[in-house]
Structure 1
Amino acid sequence: MTESVINRVAAGGPVAEGTIRFVRLGRSESLSLAELARRAEVLAARLAELGVGRGDRVGVMAANCPEWVLLDLALLRLGAVTAGLEPHKFEPGPRLLAEYGLKLLFTDGPADGPGVLPVSEAGRLADRPGPARPVPPAHYGPAEPTALKFTSGSTGRPKALAATAGSVDSSLRAVQQMFAHGPGDDLFVFLPLSLLQQRYWIYSALCFGHDVTVSTYEAAFPALSQARPTVVMGVPAFYEAARTHITGQAGDAGPKGVAAAARRLFGDRVRYLWTGSAPASRSTLDFFDGLGMPLYEGYGLNETCIVAKNHPGAHRPGSVGRVVPGKEVLFDEDGVISIRSTRPVAYRYAYAPPGESERTFGPDGLVRTGDVGRLDEDGFLWIAGRADDAVVLDNGRKILVRPLEEFLRNSPAVEECVVFCVHQTRLVAVVAPSGEVPDERAIVRRLAEAREVFADDERISKAVVAADGFSIANGLLTSQFKPRRRRILAAFQAEIDDPSGGLHAT
């Protein structure tokens, strides 16, 4: 039987050689993986003294930091469940503890009330002098939860999944088979550790002997050049921003100047870049591939974890790769995808509005994704868009808007865009410009080019420019940098409906 990664991590050893580094703005600290495991073991004993035991839920609501990692590893040793909470989505306090059944909550925000502790307390507990009674490591069965995993949905209360140990093991084994991470590698992580998959790379380091660097989105660019990673884990929006930065730094220096600017940003050791969560534009994929930094897209959901991934030896740009072992992709008559897993993440939501679990989950953990796609003759999966994002015109024709959005995003003037259908008669794009001053001429030119490429029914009548862009701060992007379509529609409804406003192709 294949060894469980989760149980190996929970046991705290044998720990492979390697280093974990935390890089934040103005600060950097490193420790060996062996020391990380030792401190996590002590913290587990201290948490046990506070009454935390097997099956208890403990919330962590903080920016990426050493204490976040220590808490997660300590809770795994106890057989407890880590609830990763994004600070901007929740308010710390007794109500939050009661709502999600949390034994304790560690936060870098206000820490008032019973059961709410500053996240820095985890570091103090791990280093507190005096003997700590050792805690025997927990052993997880494949169907037992290790984490409470919240979705990044665009509206309402976040749904939550009790993610199983078996699903984590299955995903990490598939990734290791594709990419063979090991000594000499340094995986760069900057997305929030509240997202369970970001914590996978800590587990991977402990098991497979590579380094890992943990930063934050705000510090990512300066941290990259300092860390010189071999692998970067990021969403498409990050790579779009990196591409803009590189070309801006290169100026008119030509291909050699672009390559030099890329090395200054990413360092000189990158063997590949990882992306998912949203589609990357073909121009961005080609840009990094041309630099010798292949950008491998993949596909998965919170409810399924990784389903497909491009990787060395099996890479088809524009696809999301071949289906990984342990996953089966099924299609209905409209091409809508469902996923069956050997080790499901969950069989229903732990927290969700009535009926939501039944809409998403089928028998035996089958997950209805709502995505439309196809498998090609070589087994590569292609995603055409969301079934919900298909618009039906008054002539009965159904149009998927994702190809239109990707075409517009391939313009250097466009950072992000969302296409809406007005009264089933015309398509309107809301565009987030790539610069502080929108290049309206370039946007209009791209609209005109779209008219030449797409059919008459797919013509975009105009573009509404979101001058302040889409961001997490203004509520128009999720924590994984996906556009919040409903909020964008609500924010620009008046401009979308006004036939005389906006930019029109000539």
Structure 2
Amino acid sequence: MNASYAECKSLPQERSILDIINCEEWASDHFITVYTQGRPPVRMTLGELQGTVRRVASWLMDRGLKSGDRIGILAHNSLEWILLDLACIRQGIVTAGFEPEAFASRVDLTDTYDLQLLVCDRLCAAAVDAGERFVPLQSIPTIGTVEDLAIPLPPPYRFHLDECSTIKFTSGSTGKAKGLGATVGSIDQSIRGVQALFHHGPKDKLFVFLPLSLLQQRYWIYSAIAFGHDIVVTAPSLAFDVLHREAPTVVMGVPAFFTTLKERIEHAVLGAGTQAADLRAVARTILGPNVRYLWTGSAPVHPDVLTFFFDMCGIPLFEGYGMNEICIATKNHPGAYRIGSVGQPLDGVKVMVDSAGIVRVKRRHPVNTRYLYAPQGASEQVFADDGTVVTGDLGYIDPDGFLYITGRVDDVVVLENGRNIYVREIEERIARIAGVAQAIVFGFGRPTLGALVHPLPGAQIDILRLKLQAAASECDAQFGAIVMIDHPFTADNGLLTSQGKPRRTAILAAYTAVIEAAYGG
């Protein structure tokens, strides 16, 4: 590793990172920059941020909120989101981050999740239902210092490792979202584990654009404060523009983002009429000259994307593995990586594969031992009595401890004749077909498999159908129904999660009529 990046700050082990954030003065020589749609960017030192956080903490006290109370945040990324989250940490107030596209239409948030306050960035059904407990995000004070406090602040809250500072929600890709309290110990273990591998330090600038309702995205803000580096936060719609302007050293993104980035780089090379040998220069032009690595996870990355960045661009793209119930479990990193694997376990994480091939994970500090909000019996299916989490993912571990994820238990479709078909392999083959933008394979209880496909503009549909059947045949299967759709799956239409995963239940429900027609129903 470059020595200039190894000069990172060490933290005392006897205090959690959240306590360190609460009790220490923040750096005046590192910056947070926030880009929000329709507003000018805001750049301030971390020290200035801390002063405003204290002002927001006083604002919370003025509203009668105290440690242990709960606040819901239903909003897109913004400075106010960050201030509110950090102020709640200071006061020991529990946050519940709601993804706007998934929760804005819910009319039961405040009562279901016992919220004393629901902060929204727009008027929506959830806000209307909250009544007097609704507060517009715009009312959060974004300027001010400790001298402006409405109410004198008490000493910062001190956390126990086993208490929960926030509630996070599953993506709901297979049904209604489940709520899970995240322990302070799990947050501390994850951030320290990542820091031990990547050594973020004073020369780093981390780039975050995924929703702050995803707890892991807030980790990098906490990391900036605790370890002393810069941080840039924006929204998915602004990501590429801000990326070029800010020239970060680290880019955090889901696989779909890096697939799009790969296409942009390739298009730029072709458009400029340059040779493939110049691809590295083009990549640096788009990403900026300072990037030292790219981070991804949450969904499988196609090997072609990994090798493109590693070998052709000369920029490592490190894949990892985790889920809400286990947080970051394994990670490739500069000291140990294998393309195709999701890395080795972080410190304090034990990964096992049981006799059925299912990955199980046990942490020194568990995220939790049960869901806070979930259907009856859901916790028992995931959280074992010994603290192990049954992930539902299939995989294996090589002799050097690298984990490989091969699929999910629910990637298996059972046809009406009882035959089990592993559809992920078919979907991966379909994704490589020219002319396919998006596709999912289904068929539970059906006589044959079906495919729902969004073709790229100009695709020849007859040829595409033949290629789809060929992909199924290569996996000893066949399609009895192939449905071409006009509109893509997106987060805005509720058919993708914020991490780019298809919401299968929602997709099949949205296209029930055409699917039935394709099967001859």
- Normalised to the residue count of structure 1, the TM-score between the two structures is 0.91
Asked if residue 206 in structure 1 is aligned to residue 225 in structure 2, the reply is yes
CA distance in 1, matches of 2:416, 2:113: 45
In structure 2, give the amino acid aligned to 1:400: Y
Alignment of 1:72-471 (within 5 A): 72-91=85-104, 95-110=108-123, 113-123=131-141, 126=144, 129=148, 132-154=151-173, 156-251=175-270, 252-256=273-277, 258-289=279-310, 290-392=312-414, 398-421=420-443, 426-433=448-455, 435-438=456-459, 440=461, 443=464, 446-447=467-468, 450=471, 454-455=474-475, 457-458=476-477, 463-471=482-490
**Which stretch of structure 1 is more off in the superposition, 297-306 or 24-33?**
24-33
Q: What is the percent sequence identity of the aligned residues?
A: 44
**Which stretch of structure 1 is more off in the superposition, 172-181 or 132-141?**
132-141
**Which stretch of structure 1 is more off in the superposition, 43-52 or 183-192?**
43-52
CA distance in 2, matches of 1:144, 1:387: 32
Asked if the contact 1:282–1:410 (Cα under 8 Å) also holds between the matched residues in 2, the reply is no
In structure 2, give the amino acid aligned to 1:238: F
Alpha-carbon spacing, 1:31–1:137, altered in 2? closer, same or farther (3 Å): same
In structure 2, give the amino acid aligned to 1:363: D
In structure 2, give the amino acid aligned to 1:183: P
* Count of paired positions: 498
**Which stretch of structure 1 is more off in the superposition, 111-120 or 355-364?**
111-120
Alpha-carbon spacing, 1:333–1:266, altered in 2? closer, same or farther (3 Å): same
CA distance in 2, matches of 1:411, 1:7: 51
CA distance in 2, matches of 1:438, 1:474: 23
CA distance in 2, matches of 1:287, 1:263: 14
CA RMSD of aligned residues (A): 2.6
Match of 1:69 in 2: 82
Alignment of 1:465-504 (within 5 A): 465-493=484-512, 495-496=514-515
Aligned-residue offset at 1:424: 5.8
* Structure 2 gaps, min length 5: 1-12
CA distance in 2, matches of 1:40, 1:436: 48
Alpha-carbon spacing, 1:99–1:490, altered in 2? closer, same or farther (3 Å): closer
Alpha-carbon spacing, 1:432–1:286, altered in 2? closer, same or farther (3 Å): farther
**Cα deviations by residue, 1:456-491 (Å, 9 ceiling, x for unpaired):** x24556753333121112222112210111222334
Q: Secondary structure at the match of 2:241?
A: helix
CA distance in 2, matches of 1:313, 1:486: 40
Q: Secondary structure at the match of 2:396?
A: strand
Aligned-residue offset at 1:358: 1.7
In structure 1, give the amino acid aligned to 2:252: M
Asked if the contact 2:58–2:149 (Cα under 8 Å) also holds between the matched residues in 1, the reply is no
Alpha-carbon spacing, 1:406–1:394, altered in 2? closer, same or farther (3 Å): same
**Which stretch of structure 1 is more off in the superposition, 138-147 or 236-245?**
236-245
Q: 2:20 aligns with which of 8, 30, 42?
A: 8
Asked if the contact 1:152–1:478 (Cα under 8 Å) also holds between the matched residues in 2, the reply is yes
Aligned-residue offset at 1:218: 0.7
Q: Secondary structure at the match of 2:453?
A: strand
Asked if the contact 1:24–1:223 (Cα under 8 Å) also holds between the matched residues in 2, the reply is no
Asked if the contact 2:61–2:151 (Cα under 8 Å) also holds between the matched residues in 1, the reply is no
* Structure 1 gaps, min length 5: 502-506
CA distance in 1, matches of 2:259, 2:486: 18
CA distance in 2, matches of 1:476, 1:255: 36
Higher RCO structure (Cα 8 Å, ≥6 apart): 2
Asked if the contact 2:319–2:332 (Cα under 8 Å) also holds between the matched residues in 1, the reply is yes
